[in-house]
Every structure is written in structure tokens, then in C-alpha cells.
Amino acid sequence: MRVIIRDDYEEISRAAARDVARLLNSKPNAVLGLATGSTPLGIYRELVRMHRDEGLDFSKVTTFNLDEYVGLTPSNPQSYHYFMHEHLFQHINIARQNIHIPSGTTDNYDAFCVWYEQRIVDCGGIDLQVLGIGSDGHIAFNEPSSSLGSRTRLKTLAKQTIQDNARFFSRPEDVPIYAVTMGVGTILEARSILLVASGSGKAAAVAGAIEGPVTSMNTASSLQLHRDVTCYLDRGAASELKMVDYYDWIDEKESSAPPTVPRPHLLKSPTGVRQSN
């Protein structure tokens, strides 16, 4: 894992958006995995700005969102369909038919989830997945105790998540209890992953994810098994990590390395087998 710590939310958002833009510039038909919630808002703002001011092109991009609440129609302002159109899609030149968001209103969830998984495969797999992290360590809606091999499915939300999400709803009883979510196994198949976290409310979950054991009790810890994960954290989110000095040191050494030096995980070992990080 690469752990990149910056002073504030705007900085980590810009850095993560730059990674997305770099991918789109080298692969215009990239497949992006997208997240909702407060955390990715800064990334989306920056991508919209890059599209407007620098011509960042989304015309060939395909997207898959992580999750959607069960029972909310796309026109419901609290739905993730609505969120994505409001904060990203309506501001960029993405083709509507290339947007995929799990349905929260299908009458056959099992069939829908099978279709969603197959659609990801048919589109060539996800090149880059953007992730937030819940205060209980969840990625997408893979709550503690979710199988680390799980696929897209219907999930009952944890009480902590329902409580965290209540701020977006006018009445507590309106907060959905179920969601359709990509599984941990689905997420781990993305070729690269950006995890973004901001604020001390995420510090314990982030520490568990990066420095704790791999456990289904913090599904973000499964990212330790992936070979290309970058975590962008502000100082608050990084405040319970034990190895901050080391992460800062690596960051400093890598950013001052000449551009021809490849990232460590792409270096070949003496046997010719790629080393993983």
C-alpha cells in the first residue's frame, strides 16, 4: 500500500483526482469504479474543474458505482443515482449508456446482482476504483463480518452506518436499512484502488485497515491483499497510524526520485517475478 498523507481534505482530493486524470489521459476508455458519500465530493469537484478548464475527456469512459440504497428511486435526492448525477455526471461529457449504478428498485435483486457482476467483466473489468471508508471500516456497504470473497449482493446495513447516514435524511426512520453493494471480492478485482479518508472520525478505521490484521471485522483491511492500493489521508484520518514517519519518508523519497524510476511494486525481482508491495 502507498500511504500518502496531506494536511487537508482539498489536497488529498486534488491528488486523487490527478491520479484519475492521469489514467484517463493514458487510457481514454478506462473503466472507473466510483463511490458516493462526503469523501469523494472533493475529487468530483476537481474532475469537473479539469473537464471544464483543461478538457479532461470522459466521452469513452465507463463507470460502475459501488452501491445504492434499496427502496430509493433515482429521482430521490438521497439516492446514489441522484448524488452521482448531481455531483459528477451532469457536469462532464460521459455517455449516459456507459454509467452503471446498482438498482435500488429492481424486483429481482439476485438476478440484478449477477447481471451487474457480468457487466463489469464484459466492460473489461475496473481499471481504477475510488473508495471511501466507513467509521466501522466498511468499503462500499461491506459491513463488519462481510465475507472477504463477497460479490455484488443485497446487504443489511449496520446500525453504526444507519446512524452515520442519518445526517442526510430528515427523519431517522427514512434512513434505508438495506443496500445493494459490490462485494469485497468484486472490489479486490479492480486493477488499482484509491482509498480516500478525511477527519479524525475515520482514524481508528483507517489504522485498522492499513496497520491492523486482515479481518472481515474491518473490510477495508482486505486491501492489504491487493497489489496496487494508494491511500490518500488527511492528518486527522492518519492520526492513529503508528508508522506515519515511515509513510512520509517514502512519500518524500518517491516524489524526489527521478521520473524514470518506476514505482517499487513494478520493479522486477532478480528472478524476473514482479515484487509486490
Task: Identify whether 67 is a catalytic site residue.
Answer: yes
In terms of CB distance, is 127 or 136 closer to ligand PGA?
136
Task: Considering the candidates 46, 51, 67, 68, report the single residue annotated as catalytic.
Answer: 67
Provide the minimum distance between the beta carbon of 65 and ligand PGA in the complex, in angstroms, as a whole number.
Answer: 12
Q: Catalytic one among 138, 164, 228, 234?
A: 138
Least distance to ligand PGA from the beta carbon of 172, Å?
Answer: 17
Q: What is the 3-state secondary structure (H, E, C) of the chain?
A: CEEEEECCHHHHHHHHHHHHHHHHHHCCCCEEEECCCCCCHHHHHHHHHHHHHHCCCCCCCEEEECEEECCCCCCCCCCHHHHHHHHCHHHCCCCHHHEECCCCCCCCHHHHHHHHHHHHHHCCCCCEEEECCCCCCCECCECCCCCCCCCCEEEECCHHHHHHHHHHCCCHHHCCCEEEECCHHHHHCCCEEEEEECCHHHHHHHHHHHHCCCECCEHHHHHHHCCCEEEEEECCCCCCCCCHHHHHHHHHHHHCCCCCCCCHHHCECCCCCECCC
Nearest to ligand PGA of 98, 209 (CB atom): 209
Closer by beta carbon to ligand PGA, 132 or else 236: 132
Which among 46, 127, 143, 164 is annotated as catalytic?
A: 143
| Most distant pair of Cα atoms in the chain: their distance | 60
Among the listed residues 136, 164, 228, 234, the single catalytic one is 136
CB of 34 to ligand PGA, least distance (A): 12
Min dist. Cβ of residue 190 to ligand PGA (A) = 15
Tell me, yes or no, if 174 is annotated catalytic. no
- Is 136 among the catalytic positions? yes
Footprint of ligand PGA (CB under 6 A):
37-39, 132-134
Residue number of the CB closest to ligand PGA reads 37
CB of 37 or CB of 183, closer to ligand PGA: 37
| 38 or 118: CB nearest ligand PGA | 38
What is the nearest approach in angstroms of ligand PGA to the Cβ of residue 105? Answer: 21
Q: Is 138 annotated in the active site? A: yes
Catalytic residues: 67, 136, 138, 143
